[in-house]
Structure 1
Amino acid sequence: MKNSTKYIPLLLGIAAAIGIFIGGKLNFTDNSDRIFSTNSKKDKLNRLIDYIDYEYVEDVNTDSIVDVTVNGILSNLDPHSVYIPKENAQKVRENMKGDFVGVGISFYTYRDTVTVIRSLKNGPSAKAGIKGGDRIITVNSDTIINKGLNNDALVNKIKGPIDSYVTLGVFRKSTNQFLNFKLKRSTIPLKSVDASYMLSQDLGYIKLNRFAESSYKEFITALRSLKSSGAQKLVLDLRDNPGGFVGIANEIVDEFLEEDKLILYTKNKKNNIEKSFATDKGIFENGHVYVLINENSASASEILAGALQDNDKGTIVGRRSYGKGLVQREMQLGDGSAVRLTVSKYYTPTGRSIQRAYEKGNTDYFDDYYNRRNSGELTDETKIEVADSLKFTTPKGKVVYGGGGIIPDVFVPIDKGMNNQTLEFIEKRGLTSNFVFELLEENREAFSNYTQKDFVLNYSVEDNIVKKFERFLQEKTQSNIVFVAYREEVKHYIKANIAEQLFGDEAYNKVLSKYDNMIEKVLLIENPPEIIEEQE
């Protein structure tokens, strides 16, 4: 009798840990033959697996046992040494490479039918004329309606080798037509720059969501465009950015720092130190930069913020960052799976390690957000715990602290309206996006005459739409959710999601930036209110 389910690995923390690693391109000179040479510890594990394979009374999936063993070993090291099963490896590689091979559509399974939310700009689907609202009925003549396929299965049917072809049979509701589109699969970028635009006449804004292989190229393209539009100052938004490659962070920092300024250094267990310095290539060395961070800004985001702060460059605005100062290197395990193993620690230019303590275990470590919320730190900067023993001083005399994240120069409390826990839950679950899709399905033509600029400036969400949203949530969550105190905030999120589905990520960010207390703080710093002294 098969009884393998009890051996399925509990991949605790992997989803969070994979997003907040640093894939630093470090020298790793140990020969793999020497590292994995025969030893008694390896023989013991191999022998145990063989005994279970050949002698155990029941059939067992020993692959899952191996996964459990690997996870168990890594969980005793640190929170960021993680195992990547082979079934997840491709998705992780695409995420960090910054692109994938496909046809470029965002879709939603609506009433058992795969329906296009929008075609990604310049992708095969957009070029062929596939539109938001189109129903995908067949893939290469195979029907996919009512098949119960999950999103991964649907993506796998549509994806394929680069330059290969796939034919999508589509029903277009707006014209009551069945159409066939033969698409040539191509490389589709996973954008790192969510938004890039001017906040004022001389203040530009860039939101960066990760540090992937393609991120620097996207960033420098956006920065050059903003400079040509008159930007002399920049807001670099790294909120909720979980990190990525240390080398990419270095390249971006280099655009702000003068030649030979220290960016960071790393140290391994042999106390070998590697230092990274700025070069002479920076195109924004004379411009002021505001870096926005929050409690979810991690690893490479913290390298960038720490390098600028320790070099007395720019202004760090927001809340204390995540606190990850460990460097991982990915190592293949021979069967398509891999391990990301911590190989060194990194330090900011003043010598700070910003790694949080993890001695209490992984669960406590990853629950830090809730601990910070409960302690009051997210609303009151005096609740941020600092240790005098971890006090450092920048060249210009500013005091900074190590031991758990980057503490901003200018604190901005969490917005209790826009960051209400119920709204956070709804937005992260994709419920707002799903509701907006169904709202657009009722009458897409009503939005056909809007340009992005018109929509952002002039469209308003009416009260009856909020009522519809409440009924939608009650149906989907079986909870009686009624918005009273946060009605305006709900309208902002609905409008932002409509903007995203009609125009893309940048439109989403433009809508929300109007109600963003961190951006408001930067604008207030830039344009402080006049103080009029009362004359007697």
Structure 2
Amino acid sequence: MTDESTVAPVPRPAAEPAAAPRNTRAQIRQPLLLALVLACGILVGANPFRASEQNPDGTARGYLKFKEILSYVDRDYVDSVDAEALSDYAITRMLERLDPHSVFIPARQQQQASAFLQSDFDGVGVEFNLFHDTVTVVSPLSGGPAELAGLQPGDRILAVDGVAVSGVRISTEQMFGKLRGPRGSSVQLLVQRRHQSKPMTVAVNRNRIPNSSVDVAYMLDNETGYIKVSRFASGTYDEFKQALGDLRRQGLTRLVLDLRGNPGGYLDRATKLADEFISGTKKLVYTEGKGDQYDTQTYSRTLGEFEDGPLVVLVDEGSASASEVVAGALQDHDRALVVGRRTFGKGLVQQPIALNDGSELRLTIARYYTPSGRSIQKSYRSGAEAYEKELTRRMQHGEYFHADSIHFADSLRYRTDRGRTVYGGGGIMPDLFVPRDTSAYSAYYTRLQSHNLIREFALNFFQDHRDELEAMRFEQFNTSFRISDTQLQALTVKANHDGIPNDVAGLRRCTALLRNQLKAHIARSAYGKTAYYQVLREQDHELQQAFHAVTDGNGSLMQGITLKQ
């Protein structure tokens, strides 16, 4: 599912793990984890970057040597070369010798990389997917330009401004570039609607589109709220405050904060969010760099919206950087129960430095530490390749399934405010471990997902039953609607036609999950994003564990909790 309003960080070559919002759950999480944390952990309000005085002679010699070699290559090499591209390559390889998170972003990619941390952008406001090399509208943003122009779920976009985008293997990034543009400008879309014989031309006037980082906020029951934060962007704190206030008015007295798959972002937005939960003046995070230029200490200062009441924070191996700051601060101060699996382990802070040609250097300038003194950064001494495969090794060692597969050195032992033992040196270990549930993920289900057939089938179903679905309230749909065996059989027939052979055992294994996924995607088209997440909850075992923890806590979540190790 691709949303024009959501752009992932630009991966560098051999990118480190990443996570997208948990839309399609654990089965697709692992591939997506390969593009994550590059734009995250950014320090805001740091001192301006200054030239180093540590080794000026060495720096000058290195600069002159590189300039001399590049000049010779450009002038005398046997073939024509792109000197700028060579320079970009050399810079990238140089930074790889430093740490896994210092990164150079060429000018042509800088805008896309920055979009990850923006709270809005100029575009048409449409969520789309690629089915069989065809751009298909999943949902126009409510009240956005695309909806106002009449676009509907299931519409196939054949051309943009006269240029074909159907059947030409267009990439998601290329489609972003065609749909986005200056506010007030117009784009002509050639659209094929189901059951209509001829395509129609739709003119859409671009406008400002919100790029929300709070994916969803709703009540799990009459007292328990749920808020999912996908990243810490420029508008995250304001979005969170509004969501929390809305839930408080609905009766919220306890909260599940979902940071699974959250790769981080602006550090100050993360600490402001943590401050909403922590009373008094307590340390939230501190950073230490070379000398004292980037040494900072951040404390809670404001009267928060939810400083009392049961709180659970959901994390997993895709939670990184600023999301680890939040989880670590709440854990160290015994303010929340952390539930899930060990987080990614990124404790390095990057300073964004704009370069003259429009490119950007994001240079690691400090390490951050939780209030108890823990460094969450996992080791990268074995090199970039080993670092990039660390999450794979966790799975191979059984860490995703058994808490006793995780071991920490005694030298990395720390204490929370109430004296509980916690560990540093590689992510935040949850207080309550929840293994990854892969029992339903057959190879057949994986093939259905990889061919986008689940979303395509759900979208077609919505189009065929649109009137009856829209005449039904979501609450009625959620309690009474069920994907039938006949509909599952129709999906397998479609899959077989698309080259996925029937697999009776594989289908049987994934039937419950498949029904849930199909129902959730139908709900998304008919009732919106919140309905999608509410349906997914049925098969979200980690959220179910978090819900039981927060409702069974009786206001004292931390009592009797010991760290799993």
State the secondary structure of the residue aligned to 1:72: helix
1:102 aligns with 2:126: no
The one-letter code sitting in structure 2 at the alignment partner of 1:12 is: A
1:56 maps to what in 2? 77
State the secondary structure of the residue aligned to 2:208: strand
1:28-107 maps to which residues of 2 (within 5 A)?
A: 28-31=47-50, 39-107=60-128
Equivalent of residue 221 in structure 1, options 242, 258, 269: 242
**Displacement after TM superposition at 1:59 (Å):** 1.3
1:159 maps to what in 2? 180
**Displacement after TM superposition at 1:524 (Å):** 2.7
- Measured in 2, the distance between the counterparts of 1:20 and 1:139 equals 30
1:462-477 maps to which residues of 2 (within 5 A)?
A: 462-473=484-495
1:494 aligns with 2:515: no
**Displacement after TM superposition at 1:383 (Å):** 1.5
| Identity across matched positions, percent | 34
**Displacement after TM superposition at 1:419 (Å):** 6.1
Contact 1:118 1:502 in 2 (8 A): no
Comparing 92-101 with 200-209, which one deviates more in the overlay?
92-101
State the secondary structure of the residue aligned to 1:339: strand
The one-letter code sitting in structure 1 at the alignment partner of 2:524 is: E
- Measured in 2, the distance between the counterparts of 1:169 and 1:189 equals 25
1:279 maps to what in 2? 301
Comparing 54-63 with 351-360, which one deviates more in the overlay?
54-63
- Measured in 1, the distance between the counterparts of 2:499 and 2:43 equals 42
State the secondary structure of the residue aligned to 1:83: strand
Contact 2:254 2:550 in 1 (8 A): no
1:523 maps to what in 2? 547
- Measured in 2, the distance between the counterparts of 1:83 and 1:420 equals 39
- Measured in 1, the distance between the counterparts of 2:167 and 2:343 equals 45
The one-letter code sitting in structure 2 at the alignment partner of 1:361 is: G
* TM-score normalised over the length of structure 2: 0.84
The one-letter code sitting in structure 1 at the alignment partner of 2:482 is: S
**Displacement after TM superposition at 1:365 (Å):** 1.5
- Measured in 2, the distance between the counterparts of 1:149 and 1:140 equals 15
1:291-440 maps to which residues of 2 (within 5 A)?
A: 291-417=313-439, 423=445, 427=449, 430-440=452-462
The one-letter code sitting in structure 1 at the alignment partner of 2:238 is: K
Contact 1:103 1:185 in 2 (8 A): yes
- How many residue pairs get aligned? The number is 521
2:44 maps to what in 1? 25
Once the two structures are superposed, what CA deviation does each residue of 1:7-33 show, in whole Å capped at 9, x if it has no partner?
A: xx9811166254562111142344369
The one-letter code sitting in structure 2 at the alignment partner of 1:499 is: A
Contact 2:37 2:263 in 1 (8 A): no
State the secondary structure of the residue aligned to 1:331: strand
- Measured in 1, the distance between the counterparts of 2:446 and 2:363 equals 32
1:230 aligns with 2:251: yes
Kindly tell me: are residues 292 and 423 of structure 1, through their superposed partners in 2, closer, same or farther at Cα, counting changes over 3 Å? farther
Once the two structures are superposed, what CA deviation does each residue of 1:70-94 show, in whole Å capped at 9, x if it has no partner?
A: 1211111111112222232111111
Kindly tell me: are residues 274 and 204 of structure 1, through their superposed partners in 2, closer, same or farther at Cα, counting changes over 3 Å? same
Kindly tell me: are residues 505 and 406 of structure 1, through their superposed partners in 2, closer, same or farther at Cα, counting changes over 3 Å? same
The one-letter code sitting in structure 2 at the alignment partner of 1:13 is: A
The one-letter code sitting in structure 2 at the alignment partner of 1:486 is: C
**Displacement after TM superposition at 1:362 (Å):** 1.8
In structure 1, stretches of 5+ residues that fail to align are: 1-8, 530-536
The one-letter code sitting in structure 2 at the alignment partner of 1:508 is: Y
State the secondary structure of the residue aligned to 1:39: helix
Once the two structures are superposed, what CA deviation does each residue of 1:192-211 show, in whole Å capped at 9, x if it has no partner?
A: 11111111111100011111
1:11 aligns with 2:8: no
Contact 2:270 2:325 in 1 (8 A): yes
State the secondary structure of the residue aligned to 1:397: coil
Once the two structures are superposed, what CA deviation does each residue of 1:400-442 show, in whole Å capped at 9, x if it has no partner?
A: 1111111111111111235668756764775532443344455
- Measured in 1, the distance between the counterparts of 2:264 and 2:451 equals 22
The one-letter code sitting in structure 2 at the alignment partner of 1:498 is: I
- Measured in 1, the distance between the counterparts of 2:133 and 2:446 equals 27
- Measured in 1, the distance between the counterparts of 2:314 and 2:89 equals 39
**Displacement after TM superposition at 1:267 (Å):** 0.4
The one-letter code sitting in structure 2 at the alignment partner of 1:409 is: D
1:510 maps to what in 2? 534
**Displacement after TM superposition at 1:274 (Å):** 0.8
**Displacement after TM superposition at 1:287 (Å):** 2.3
The one-letter code sitting in structure 2 at the alignment partner of 1:31 is: R
The one-letter code sitting in structure 1 at the alignment partner of 2:530 is: E
Once the two structures are superposed, what CA deviation does each residue of 1:438-480 show, in whole Å capped at 9, x if it has no partner?
A: 4445554564434333333222112233334445555657576
- Measured in 2, the distance between the counterparts of 1:96 and 1:274 equals 22
How large is the RMSD of aligned CA atoms in angstroms? Answer: 2.9
**Displacement after TM superposition at 1:283 (Å):** 0.9
**Displacement after TM superposition at 1:182 (Å):** 3.3
- Measured in 2, the distance between the counterparts of 1:209 and 1:160 equals 25
- Measured in 2, the distance between the counterparts of 1:43 and 1:472 equals 62
State the secondary structure of the residue aligned to 1:206: strand
1:455 maps to what in 2? 477
- Measured in 1, the distance between the counterparts of 2:139 and 2:372 equals 47
Contact 1:415 1:517 in 2 (8 A): yes
* TM-score normalised over the length of structure 1: 0.89
Once the two structures are superposed, what CA deviation does each residue of 1:367-425 show, in whole Å capped at 9, x if it has no partner?
A: 22221122122222122111111111112111111111111111111112356687567
1:114 maps to what in 2? 135
1:484 maps to what in 2? 508
Structure of greater relative contact order (alpha carbons < 8 Å, 6+ residues apart): 2
- Measured in 2, the distance between the counterparts of 1:10 and 1:209 equals 21
- Measured in 2, the distance between the counterparts of 1:431 and 1:173 equals 17
Once the two structures are superposed, what CA deviation does each residue of 1:304-348 show, in whole Å capped at 9, x if it has no partner?
A: 000001111021111111111111111223222222111100000
Kindly tell me: are residues 293 and 429 of structure 1, through their superposed partners in 2, closer, same or farther at Cα, counting changes over 3 Å? farther
Kindly tell me: are residues 381 and 108 of structure 1, through their superposed partners in 2, closer, same or farther at Cα, counting changes over 3 Å? closer
Contact 1:17 1:82 in 2 (8 A): no
Comparing 230-239 with 147-156, which one deviates more in the overlay?
147-156
Equivalent of residue 273 in structure 2, options 229, 252, 258: 252
Contact 2:441 2:509 in 1 (8 A): no
**Displacement after TM superposition at 1:518 (Å):** 2.2
Kindly tell me: are residues 351 and 497 of structure 1, through their superposed partners in 2, closer, same or farther at Cα, counting changes over 3 Å? same
Kindly tell me: are residues 118 and 176 of structure 1, through their superposed partners in 2, closer, same or farther at Cα, counting changes over 3 Å? farther
Equivalent of residue 227 in structure 2, options 203, 206, 209: 206
1:189 aligns with 2:191: no
The one-letter code sitting in structure 1 at the alignment partner of 2:366 is: S
**Displacement after TM superposition at 1:134 (Å):** 2.4
Comparing 347-356 with 359-368, which one deviates more in the overlay?
359-368
- Measured in 2, the distance between the counterparts of 1:231 and 1:394 equals 27
The one-letter code sitting in structure 2 at the alignment partner of 1:21 is: C
Contact 1:13 1:362 in 2 (8 A): no
1:169-184 maps to which residues of 2 (within 5 A)?
A: 169-174=190-195, 179-184=200-205
- Measured in 2, the distance between the counterparts of 1:204 and 1:183 equals 37
